[in-house]
Structure 1
């Protein structure tokens, strides 16, 4: 038993099996143990029908530290966690586990979405610059030709000087992408129904409608949240407006792009694509996406990966520390903004 003088809050880890070992280095577990009363090796995967050890920890817990695959915090789970006051999510979206019941009870929620936005934006910047230089196409063509060739003539339309990039969605990631593109000689268009002219001016971008953005941009990059209103927002009409040779980058969610409409445009070679996400998430084994020379297909790796998980852990533990000091979270999640965020 802890002593009455130990006023550190009790904390329980809750996430998918195997995640905690990738998220937390020894230094994170040490910091957790210093800040809270916790067993840094006890990880709850199931809170609906928990083991006796997890049930006992849940009954005590004032803070849940969650990550990918965290179990849903239903009214029943909350009833078994009478002391719970905060959920600290060491990843991006909390939509999968934070329920109405959490907001009804006034539980404070924070996420590491800001930390997870950084690697996605870095990946996107690299994709933009490579697309402008036609890197993917010329690499494939080089492998075919394998001989002296007038590459300058073939790549006459390439280059990143005054290239026009269309950003769809001024989300955290969209804004970070805009920031990272500042040092380059790029023209940036933005489509976001929630950003007004003053907001666009502050970001240093030109606000446009979605159709106009698709018609004018050399590169279109999608950073909108996955909500009902954004399903297939890049559909046949938007793709048809894109000029030949336009590159579509999607690091958000596969459902934002109508893949049935996109595939013929890629198979014909009219458009290029950098797809880190697809719909379904794993394309069928016979999908042309795997083979097409004008498509860079990656297995949803733009977000935090490998050592980048530690950045999310660091941010989450900073928030745990704020909680233990009685301070408000630096990056709280507000229920009102969830319907238009990831």
Structure 2
């Protein structure tokens, strides 16, 4: 039996009824997999007969091992980063595929897959245009950590957090889809509330897109000014010399894109709670850990930024990290950075060319 026998909608969020009974399948799965391959039995049959939460978790552990080996061989620790925008959607797709093969209604999971596919497409594109898929590219923060801790400590960090824990986290972000799948036994058709959750998710993805696009445009304008001394339309010289974006959504939140990212997975969890008529469930583990992860990574990012740009401390004091402190947009407390005359900057570039 691959799915639990449940008697009420609320049971779909109960760990003791939906997860614990299938833990023995997890322990037995490696042996069954080897046996199926050795005897040329149907892997598809094994897939359908295995609880989808168990098989999804097993895949995340296996991928963690793959990430570990590739990272250590190449001494590049952004292997999970390259798959970050894809794996949650692939896991939700796994629940959808399993439901179809098992003949279980999947409308709610299909709806989750819809918004998740849009999320993956947008985030993958943004990561690609930043050069994330270039050969040898790596998140600069991993190098910073490597420089500050003993070598063996960083390897332990990779063996645990970077490779395995992050891989499992990406599965746990999709785990609420398991509760959605179970709920279809009692409510197989999409409701107005389900469509509302999808609309909210798409709205959050759109917010994330606007925030990332604003940041992209700003850094393009800053690069143009640094290379040619010309200020791009829509910006002032003081803004580009400031060094960091602080207008648009960024005037109200220091990381509106991160805020939207965390909200996307929190709302998937909330959707699963609504679908199972539960105030909370074990599937909160994924989005909760994601919030903690963003707290740590954002603190490190901001520490680096504050060290590069003098005005960032003022920005931090007035604008919330994720949630706005006020409805008023950010305005610097003091005059912007010293303005360099464009003619002087152009003269410097001419001198460099002559050399």
TMscore range, shorter length: under 0.3
Q: Which has the higher helix share?
A: 2
Q: Which has the higher strand share?
A: 1
* Structure with bigger RCO (C-alpha 8 Å, 6+ apart): 2
Query: If the length of structure 1 is used for normalisation, what is the TM-score?
Result: 0.22
Larger radius of gyration: 2
Query: If the length of structure 2 is used for normalisation, what is the TM-score?
Result: 0.22
